[in-house]
């Protein structure tokens, strides 16, 4: 009964989406407020029905209803409850349902919160949003229906892929999807603006919070995925330039660019056409990202086997939305008037530079990801484009951008003073140079570039702080006044500084990890001691354990430094009987910002075991930096200036700010 209910709710949602896709648009053209008014309630109802469908699927999983094909293939009655929940979206069908749930949720948010939007814009936005939704409903219902029943229900499910039975991966896809789908709102706004042929700073003020929210989720989602790969896959890598990772990284780069160009548009009424184009590109990349992964087009060794029959449907959706969006852009963009002049050396100029480098870098990632596909289609030659390609292209493009980051926020709008800004950054320069010198002194020139990268990272961090110091007048005025100024500083300024600071921290972490990691792969016997850097690990023995749906073999290692016991590391190998798969659970020990990383390889008949031991200096900064970036985004999002039509007096600042 429950799956049928979910199925039915999904069909109703499709019906509503079709109405919402046509009627408001027609109303907006005919100037009929009643027809336009259909959009908001339809969006809310659509969300309710998708929510019912999703709840039905989750209910099937929680109750282990193996008469449903999807549940039987991806769940197991012995699985812990939390993974029963999360396996609802740990598979293709369920994750697509989650995708439309989030899509409908955002549509409903626009409908509920957009009371001050111009009526035609709101109608257009919701209609476009609904086209996307309708396409996805059709995709789910025709090719990926999660509610299909089995004639003979099996007694037991086939279990969720063991590497996915992890809390990190439970949260990662929803976060990433919130980011992907959040960009659909900016796409809908861009398309609506093109249909309308009109765009103003108020448009940018509406779009920016959405981009910001989507960007935060993407940042968090990518960081979480990276951390998951780091501890779950058992060999200490945190970024592989895998097509699947690139698929989430490209929208992130585009969203970062969009965030900055929307700023120019909002404040200076310039870069309109570019911002619209970026909004279309950002969501297009999200769609490509979702589908490249889902369709199995990019079956590298890293992706998962998949059903290629969905490919045609997917291709049709891609062509419709990306092609349609770009065609509309080519046709209508000339209608948008350009405004806001600025000198090349100015805040606008700096933001253009940012966009230039980010989009170019995004393009190189795009080429690296899709070139093997194109080459195979054209010549049949199979190649793999790996980390060396991306390090050689993406890396050099990021350096000038990172150097420019501290300059941007210090530059004046319209016409900036490069020399003046450089002078104000002198302290940050000094920090960077000291960083380079200190690194050389301590670690020597090995690897050669690492000290310079440390200097660059410190420059970015110090530069971001310089901006705050300049704005509050710290060290120049009395501390009391500086504190008052700090309190009066708009939150978006804090947000900018924090986000840039986070970028520097992440860079520092990357340099530390790639430059100075130490690794040891050895075979050890019980009682033996292995040393890496300052740490001595003694192997105390193997202990078998029983988990809910697996058996594991845990190795106990005592970690000492100079004779003092620091703790115990217990890496393990888990054998999942249902799928006959083994996973490696690494053990981590955090020391400040660095980590000791231990994972198990094969165990041999004579009682010895193969281990990988890593010491990864500063590695935690990679994800902490991302966390700081997200916090910066959140601060910026809570800035009241971002909320259109809320011209409340400053004293209501303390009130709780709703996240958009």
Partner 1 sequence: MTRKQRRLILIGSGLAVLAVAVVLVLSALKDSIVFFNSPTDIVEKQVQPGARIRLGGLVKPGSVARGDNLSVRFEVTDGNRVIPVAFTGILPDLFREGQGVVAEGALDGSGLFRADAVLAKHDETYMPKEVADALKKQGHWKHDYDKKAGASPDANPSPAGRAQ
- Window 369-398: residues binding partner 1 (CB under 8 A): 371-372, 381-386, 388-389, 392-393, 396-397
Strands 594-603 and 587-591: antiparallel
**Residue 624 structure tokens:** 């902490």
Nearer to partner 1, 326 or 397 (CB): 397
x/- map, 394-433, partner 1, by CB under 8 A: --xx------------------------------------
Q: Is 477 helix (H, G, I), strand (E, B) or coil?
A: coil
x/- map, 603-622, partner 1, by CB under 8 A: -------x-x----------
Stretch of 6-14, 298-306, 439-447, 464-472 lying at the interface with partner 1 (CB under 8 A) = 298-306
Rule CB under 8 A: is residue 233 a binding residue for partner 1?
yes
x/- map, 522-561, partner 1, by CB under 8 A: xx--------------------------------------
**Residue 116 structure tokens:** 């001050």
Residue 569 Cβ vs partner 1, minimum distance, rounded to whole Å: 17
Other Cβ atoms closer than 10 A to 470 = 16
Residue 40 Cβ vs partner 1, minimum distance, rounded to whole Å: 31
x/- map, 301-320, partner 1, by CB under 8 A: xxxxxxx-------------
Alpha-helix runs per DSSP H in 63-91: 69-74, 81-86
x/- map, 334-363, partner 1, by CB under 8 A: -------xxxx-------xx--xx--xx-x
Is residue 358 a contact partner of residue 257, using CB atoms and an 8 Å limit?
Answer: yes
CA distance linking residue 501 with residue 465, whole number of Å: 7
135, 256, 273, 489 from 216: Cα distances, Å: 26, 10, 24, 22
Residue 225 Cβ vs partner 1, minimum distance, rounded to whole Å: 4
Is residue 531 a contact partner of residue 615, using CB atoms and an 8 Å limit?
Answer: no
Q: Which of 136, 113, 126, 156 minimizes the C-alpha distance to 53? A: 136
**Residue 536 structure tokens:** 């001595």
Q: Which of residues 131-190 bind partner 1 (CB under 8 A)?
A: 158, 160-161, 163-164, 169, 172-173, 176-177
Residue 580 Cβ vs partner 1, minimum distance, rounded to whole Å: 6
Residue 620 Cβ vs partner 1, minimum distance, rounded to whole Å: 20
Give the H/E segment covering residue 523.
strand 518-524
Q: Which of residues 455-514 bind partner 1 (CB under 8 A)?
A: none
CA distance linking residue 348 with residue 354, whole number of Å: 10
Rule CB under 8 A: is residue 235 a binding residue for partner 1?
yes
Burial of 269 (0-12, 13-18, 19+ CB in 10 A): middle
**Max CA-CA distance within the chain?**
83
Strands 551-561 and 564-569: antiparallel
Rule CB under 8 A: is residue 246 a binding residue for partner 1?
no
Name the residue with tokens 């991302």: 626
Nearer to partner 1, 25 or 622 (CB): 622
Residue 554 Cβ vs partner 1, minimum distance, rounded to whole Å: 16
Residue 286 Cβ vs partner 1, minimum distance, rounded to whole Å: 10
Name the residue with tokens 């929803």: 174
Is residue 182 a contact partner of residue 619, using CB atoms and an 8 Å limit?
Answer: no
Residue 367 Cβ vs partner 1, minimum distance, rounded to whole Å: 6
Q: Is 136 helix (H, G, I), strand (E, B) or coil?
A: helix
Nearer to partner 1, 165 or 493 (CB): 165
Stretch of 59-67, 126-134, 237-245, 524-532 lying at the interface with partner 1 (CB under 8 A) = 237-245
Nearer to partner 1, 91 or 186 (CB): 91
Is residue 336 a contact partner of residue 273, using CB atoms and an 8 Å limit?
Answer: yes
Angle at 120 between CA 117 and CA 122, to 5 degrees: 45
CA distance linking residue 560 with residue 372, whole number of Å: 47
Q: Which of residues 12-71 bind partner 1 (CB under 8 A)?
A: none
Name the residue with tokens 């000038």: 400
100, 146, 366, 519 from 49: Cα distances, Å: 11, 15, 36, 52
Residue 271 Cβ vs partner 1, minimum distance, rounded to whole Å: 10
Is residue 503 a contact partner of residue 583, using CB atoms and an 8 Å limit?
Answer: no
Residue 375 Cβ vs partner 1, minimum distance, rounded to whole Å: 9
Stretch of 12-20, 190-198, 541-549, 577-585 lying at the interface with partner 1 (CB under 8 A) = 577-585
**Residue 284 structure tokens:** 């297009």
Nearer to partner 1, 27 or 90 (CB): 90
CA distance linking residue 268 with residue 271, whole number of Å: 9
Residue 446 Cβ vs partner 1, minimum distance, rounded to whole Å: 21
Nearer to partner 1, 187 or 342 (CB): 342
Q: How many residues bind partner 1 (CB under 8 A)?
A: 84
Rule CB under 8 A: is residue 518 a binding residue for partner 1?
no
Nearer to partner 1, 126 or 277 (CB): 277
Nearer to partner 1, 210 or 576 (CB): 576
Q: Which of residues 70-99 bind partner 1 (CB under 8 A)?
A: 73-74, 90-93, 95
Name the residue with tokens 């257009």: 124
Task: Please name the residues in contact with 75: beta carbons below 8 A apart, sequence gap of 6 or more.
Answer: 61, 64, 66, 84, 87, 157, 158, 159, 160
**Residue 643 structure tokens:** 């909320």
Nearer to partner 1, 206 or 228 (CB): 228
Rule CB under 8 A: is residue 290 a binding residue for partner 1?
yes
Residue 655 Cβ vs partner 1, minimum distance, rounded to whole Å: 37
Q: How far apart are the first and last CA of the chain?
A: 36
Residue 294 Cβ vs partner 1, minimum distance, rounded to whole Å: 7
Half-sphere exposure of 50 (CA within 13 A, CB side): 33
Task: Pick from 15, 37, 473, 601 the residue near partner 1 by CB under 8 A.
Answer: 601
Nearer to partner 1, 4 or 307 (CB): 307
Q: Which of 458, 280, 463 minimizes the C-alpha distance to 359? A: 280
Residue 240 Cβ vs partner 1, minimum distance, rounded to whole Å: 6
Nearer to partner 1, 224 or 497 (CB): 224
According to DSSP, residue 412 is labeled P
Strand partners, 611: 522, 600
Nearer to partner 1, 328 or 398 (CB): 398
Residue 573 Cβ vs partner 1, minimum distance, rounded to whole Å: 8
Task: Pick from 267, 520, 556, 579 the residue near partner 1 by CB under 8 A.
Answer: 579
């Amino acid at each position: 009964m429950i799956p049928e209910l979910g199925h039915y709710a999904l069909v109703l949602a499709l019906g509503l989406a079709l109405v919402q896709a046509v009627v408001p648009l027609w109303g907006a053209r005919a100037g009929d407020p009643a027809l336009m008014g259909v959009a908001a309630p339809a969006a809310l109802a659509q969300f309710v029905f998708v929510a019912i469908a999703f709840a039905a699927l989750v209910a099937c999983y929680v109750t282990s209803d193996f008469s449903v094909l999807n549940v039987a293939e991806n769940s197991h009655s012995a699985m812990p409850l939390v993974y029963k929940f999360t396996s609802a979206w740990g598979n293709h069908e369920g994750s697509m349902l989650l995708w439309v749930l989030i899509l409908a949720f955002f549509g409903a948010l626009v409908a509920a919160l957009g009371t001050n939007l111009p009526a035609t814009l709101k109608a257009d936005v919701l209609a476009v949003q609904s086209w996307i939704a309708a396409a996805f409903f059709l995709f789910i219902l025709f090719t990926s229906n999660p509610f299909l029943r089995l004639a003979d229900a099996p007694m037991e499910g086939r279990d969720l892929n063991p590497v996915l039975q992890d809390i990190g991966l439970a949260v990662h896809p929803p976060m990433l999807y919130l980011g992907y789908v959040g960009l659909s709102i900016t796409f809908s706004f861009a398309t609506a603006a093109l249909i309308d042929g009109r765009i103003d700073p108020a448009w940018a003020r509406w779009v920016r919070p959405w981009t910001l929210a989507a960007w935060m989720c993407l940042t968090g989602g990518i960081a979480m995925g990276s951390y998951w790969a780091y501890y779950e896959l058992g060999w200490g890598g945190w970024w592989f330039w895998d097509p699947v990772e690139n698929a989430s990284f490209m929208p992130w780069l585009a969203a970062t660019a969009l965030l900055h160009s929307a700023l120019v548009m909002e404040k200076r009424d310039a870069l309109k056409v570019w911002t619209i184009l970026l909004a279309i590109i950002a969501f297009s990349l999200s769609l490509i990202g979702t589908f490249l992964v889902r369709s199995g087009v990019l079956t590298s060794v890293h992706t998962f086997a998949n059903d290629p029959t969905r490919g045609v449907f997917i291709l049709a959706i891609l062509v419709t939305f990306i092609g349609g969006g770009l065609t509309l852009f080519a046709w209508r963009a000339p209608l948008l008037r350009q405004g806001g002049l600025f000198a090349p050396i100015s805040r606008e100029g700096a933001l253009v530079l940012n966009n230039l480098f980010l989009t170019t870098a995004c393009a190189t990632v795009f080429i690296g990801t899709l070139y093997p596909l194109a080459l195979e289609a054209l010549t049949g030659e199979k190649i793999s484009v790996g980390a060396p390609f991306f390090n050689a292209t993406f890396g050099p493009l990021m350096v000038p951008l990172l150097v420019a980051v501290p300059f941007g926020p210090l530059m004046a709008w319209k016409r900036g003073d490069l020399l003046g800004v450089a002078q104000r950054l002198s302290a940050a320069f000094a920090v960077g140079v000291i960083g380079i010198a200190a690194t050389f002194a301590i670690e020597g020139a090995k690897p050669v570039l690492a000290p310079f990268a440390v200097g660059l990272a410190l420059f970015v961090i110090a530069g971001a702080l310089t901006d705050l110091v300049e704005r509050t007048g710290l060290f120049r005025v009395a501390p009391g006044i500086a504190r008052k100024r700090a309190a009066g500083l708009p939150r978006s300024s804090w947000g900018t500084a924090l986000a840039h600071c986070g970028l520097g921290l992440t860079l520092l972490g990357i340099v530390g990890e790639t430059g100075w990691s130490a690794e040891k792969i050895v075979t050890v016997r019980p009682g033996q001691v292995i040393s890496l850097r300052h740490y001595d690990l003694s192997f105390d023995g193997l202990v078998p354990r029983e988990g809910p749906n697996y058996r594991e073999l845990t190795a106990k290692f005592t970690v000492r430094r100079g004779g003092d016991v620091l703790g115990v590391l217990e890496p393990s190998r888990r054998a999942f009987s249902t799928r006959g798969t083994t996973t490696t659970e690494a053990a981590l020990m955090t020391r400040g910002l660095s980590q000791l990383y231990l994972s198990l390889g094969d165990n041999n008949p004579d009682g010895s075991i193969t281990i990988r031991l890593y010491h990864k200096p500063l590695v935690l900064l990679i994800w902490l930096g991302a966390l700081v970036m997200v916090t910066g985004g959140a601060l910026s999002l809570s800035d009241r200036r971002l909320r259109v039509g809320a011209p409340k007096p400053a004293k209501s600042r303390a009130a709780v700010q709703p996240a958009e």
